[in-house]
Amino acid sequence: MEKKFFIVDLQNQIGKELEDLFQIKDMQIRSSKDGQSYLEILLADITGSQTARAFENVDEIKVKIERGRVHRIKLQVYQFSDQLGIKVLDVYKVGEYNLRDFVPSSSVDSERLEGELRSIIKKVENPDLKLLLKRIFIDDNELRKKFLLAPAAKMNHHDYSGGLAEHTLQIARVSEMISKMYVIIDRDLLVAGALLHDIGKVFELEYTPDIEYTDEGKLLGHLIIGYELVSKKIHELEFMGKFPEELRMKILHMVLSHHGEQQYGSPVKPMFLEAQILHFLDNLDAKAYMFKKAYDLRSQNNARWSEYSKPLGRSIYLGEPEDTE
């Protein structure tokens, strides 16, 4: 079902009854002055949120609601005093919906991200790595689709749809550049490690449409999920021919060591140059994003220092506030 009415449009629908998709962020049972129970329902989409109420069929509607999920909702828009009133008449389950109607997504569209992913893989010369990357990102349509939609994190960096692909491609681009400057680097290995390092995030996080950790994500984490996935794909290639044993260990080591230290979730520290550089580039891209986010808020806060950033463990110096006059 294509979404037609967004939260911001509802004020233009006063007096009308309509049906459309909304996320139900929250639901509370309340009592009116005359002792009647009603439901207070917080509706949301990409444009904002709006409180709605259900006064009739309260029990029926209540059991149909799954907090946090998208539902098809029949509602009536009315005006009471100077405010917008939304009456929920019924709630239905919904299967597929367009994620972009509910969560922020990358400013770069999915086709462009995919095009760049393909062109980076095309430039890989090592036949084994090329085959592996193709098997994961090109042959597996389902996986590629998920990869292009995934966020890179729940909150710390690139926490929007397409964020994982943006983060991954940026590291791959810098990998290509840096390999020209340090010729000692095995370029194909670094690029392959860059493309694969966070692939486990595809299964670590899910959209409900809020970004949440999956059970697998909580129990295993994206390093191990990624290790398992890449390992399985290599195994399939071994079955069909041969995949060099040393290369297998190296690429898996890069997935496992990219967080750099045990305290950040890596079971092993980076033990060869490409693994070490991958860790630096991963860190560089995540940190650069955090600083950018703080700078973006500069004009809003009109302050010389950002608020304390938990992932960075410090406040960021923003400089003198810009003259907005």
Can you give the binding site for Fe ion, defined by CB under 5 A? Answer: 198, 282
Q: How far is the CB of 306 from Fe ion (least distance, A)?
A: 22
CB of 193 to Fe ion, least distance (A): 11
Unique residue bearing structure tokens 């909304």: 22
Q: Tell me whether residue 274 or residue 282 sits nearer to Fe ion (CB atom).
A: 282
Q: Which is nearer to Fe ion, 71 or 144 (CB)?
A: 144
DSSP track, 104-169: -B-SS-HHHHHHHHHHHHHH---HHHHHHHIIIIIS-HHHHHHHHH--S-SSSS--SBTHHHHHHH
The set of residues, in sequence order, having a beta carbon less than 8 Å from that of 43 and lying 6+ positions away, is 7, 22, 23, 24, 25, 49, 50, 51, 52, 73, 86
Residue 88 or 120: the one with the smaller Cβ distance to Fe ion is 120
CB within 8 A of 221, min separation 6: which ones? Answer: 200, 204, 265
3-state SS assignment for residue 281: helix
- Phi, then psi, of 196 in degrees rounded to 5: -95, -15
> Cβ of residue 258: shortest distance to Fe ion, in angstroms?
6
Q: Is 192 exposed, middle or buried (0-12, 13-18, 19+ CB in 10 A)?
A: buried
Q: Least distance from C-beta 198 to Fe ion, angstroms?
A: 4
Nearer to Fe ion, 202 or 318 (CB): 202
Closest CB to Fe ion among 101 and 198? 198
Q: How far is the CB of 184 from Fe ion (least distance, A)?
A: 23
